[in-house]
Amino acid sequence: MSKLGVGIVGIGKISGIYIQNLTGMHADRVSLTAVADLITERAEEVAAQHPGVRAMSVDELMKSPDVDIVLNLTIPKSHFEVCLKAVESGKHTYVEKPLCVGREDAALLLKTAVKKGVRVGGSPDTFLGAGLQTCRKLIDDGWIGTPIAANAYMMNHGHEHWHPSPEFYYKTGAGPMFDMGPYYLTALVSLLGPVVRVCGSAKKSFETRTISSEPLKGKAITVDVATHIAGVLDFDSGAMGTIITSFDVWSHTLPFIEIYGTEGTLRVPDPNTYGGPVLVKRGRAEDWSEIPLLKNYPENSRGLGVVDMAEAIAEGRPHRASGELANHVLDLMHGFHDASASGTYYIVKSTCSRPEAVK
């Protein structure tokens, strides 16, 4: 089977691990052929370090015959524009989270992809790693019985203490739900299936935040989005869940994700990582048992979603980190905010298939 070629648009902070993995651990499954960035020197530097990778303009990359999949690593507000250009150029595209900023853009992107006969995929792909796939197997094998509920928590005090340019995190398209929610919601959907109804409360606790990291130390950020969101999810399977994402919490002792079944409890590892630990406590057992990871890729394997897409295209099967999954997660994130604003439940209009477990 010949390898599909991948072209990256956007050489920013997240691109480093993608480039490392696509030219390293994943190089036997896909081929990184091109890179593009508005700052041309960034793309040229990558090309100089990796033989066989060419620096191009975005338009050149979209037309390049050795680019089959456009990997979109631009900032969220550019996700739709770049992905739409890719599918209109007859390229498959895979994008960092979120799929798009708005629901309407996401719908148009997926509709256009179907019309053009190409695929859309989206981050995160951490659910394909050893940790979450081990959890998936435990659930499917009945270790905790039938799942009846889940809790998920992502809480910290924001990024202004470490990120060199953190203002984006407090603007439209970001905030704790759109920044980190995709990891938690994708994990939940991959484990429990799609969601049919949500409600939630969202608030902005601080009007401004002060940067304490260099090089912008002391600069005040105007906060435009909710920074503490609490939601409830009703899954199509009958399970229910709760989620909190927050940039307002200094410390807590809550787990990343726990899933409660009729026969026991599963403690899920950080969904922003690929490994463990995975813990189970069944029935009235006094202690948690750590389960050895039963699947591959416990290390930072970013790019797995791109690889799975490439292989799925060649094999004629659905890819797991699909546009439909990413769109469902986007819909849920908006749904929590919509429910908070309206004071009512949001009946989820999107859906997706529960991704097939990795063999």
- Of 192, 30, 191, give the one whose Cα is nearest residue 126: 191
d(C-alpha 288, C-alpha 274), whole Å: 21
The pLDDT tens digits of the residues spanning 148-160 come to: 999 999 999 999 9
d(C-alpha 173, C-alpha 185), whole Å: 16
Q: Answer whether 99's CB lies under 8 Å from 77's CB.
A: no
The pLDDT tens digits of the residues spanning 119-175 come to: 999 999 999 999 999 999 999 999 999 999 999 999 999 999 999 889 989 998 899
The residue ranges of every structural domain in the chain are 4-122, 127-295+327-347
Average pLDDT (189-197) is 98
List all residues 6 or more positions away from 49 whose beta carbon is below 8 Å from its beta carbon. Answer: none
pLDDT for the residue 1: 54
Q: CA torsion angle for 57, 61, 66, 69 (degrees, to 10)?
A: 140
Residue 13 pLDDT > 90, yes or no?
A: no
Residue with tokens 């608030």: 203
d(C-alpha 248, C-alpha 210), whole Å: 13
Side by side, the strands of the sheet bearing 92-95 are: 54-55, 30-36, 4-9, 69-72, 92-95, 120-122
- Of 192, 179, 73, give the one whose Cα is nearest residue 132: 192
The pLDDT tens digits of the residues spanning 303-327 come to: 999 999 999 999 999 999 999 999 9
Mean pLDDT estimate for the chain: 97
Cα 194–Cα 130–Cα 125 angle in degrees, nearest 5: 50
Q: Which pair of tokens denotes residue 115?
A: 């019309």
Pairing between β-strand 228-235 and β-strand 240-246 as defined by DSSP bridges: antiparallel
β-bridge partners, 209: 221
CATH superfamily of 4-122: NAD(P)-binding Rossmann-like Domain (3.40.50.720)
Q: Answer whether 355's CB lies under 8 Å from 322's CB.
A: yes
Average pLDDT (246-269) is 98
Using CB atoms within 10 Å of the CB of residue 242, give its burial: 0 to 12 exposed, 13 to 18 middle, 19+ buried.
Answer: middle
d(C-alpha 153, C-alpha 133), whole Å: 20
Q: What is the pTM of this model?
A: 0.96
d(C-alpha 23, C-alpha 348), whole Å: 39
Higher per-residue pLDDT: 72 or 168: 72
CB atoms within 10 A of CB 154: 24
Spell out a b/e string for 207-232, using b for 16 or more CB atoms within 10 Å of the CB, else e: eebebeeeebeeeebebebbbbbbbb
pLDDT for the residue 298: 98
Share of the chain above pLDDT 70, in %: 100
The pLDDT tens digits of the residues spanning 35-71 come to: 999 999 999 999 999 999 999 999 999 999 999 999 9
Q: Answer whether 128's CB lies under 8 Å from 305's CB.
A: yes
Q: Is the peptide bond before 277 cis (omega within 30 degrees of 0)?
A: yes
Say yes or no: domain 127-295+327-347 is CATH 3.30.1480.10.
Answer: no
